[in-house]
Amino acid sequence: MSTHLLKPSFRLFWALTRFLLRFSAESLEILADATRAPKNKNFSPTNLIGGELNFRTGKFDEGNDPAGWYGRD
């Protein structure tokens, strides 16, 4: 094989490699941004889910279960 055919193929290889590395880095950055918590000062589980944690059932509800308890004793 002559060298004049190898130069374009190496350039193409390195161009594709750079593209794939940049694409991977951007994808990871987007995924990392999606997993970060919002910078809201009212960030708590009750604000995200809604309701109060019923310690008897372990679920969030409206806070009106007569048999449930909603604060730590």
Q: Are residues 18 and 46 in the same domain?
A: no
Instruction: Give pTM, 2 decimals.
Output: 0.42
CB distance 63 to 51 below 8 Å: yes
Token representation of residue 7: 């130069």
Q: Are residues 73 and 43 in the same domain?
A: yes
Give me the pLDDT at residue 73, please: 61
Give me the pLDDT at residue 22, please: 96
Rounded Cα gap, residues 56 and 67, in angstroms = 8
Rounded Cα gap, residues 43 and 53, in angstroms = 15
Q: Are residues 31 and 44 in the same domain?
A: no
Q: Are residues 12 and 43 in the same domain?
A: no
Q: Digits of tens for pLDDT over the chain (73 positions)?
A: 566 666 788 889 999 999 999 999 999 998 888 777 656 555 555 555 667 888 888 888 888 888 888 876 6
Q: Are residues 48 and 21 in the same domain?
A: no
Range of the domain at 67: 39-73
Give me the pLDDT at residue 23, please: 95
Domain count, the chain: 2
Give me the pLDDT at residue 66, please: 84
Q: Are residues 21 and 49 in the same domain?
A: no
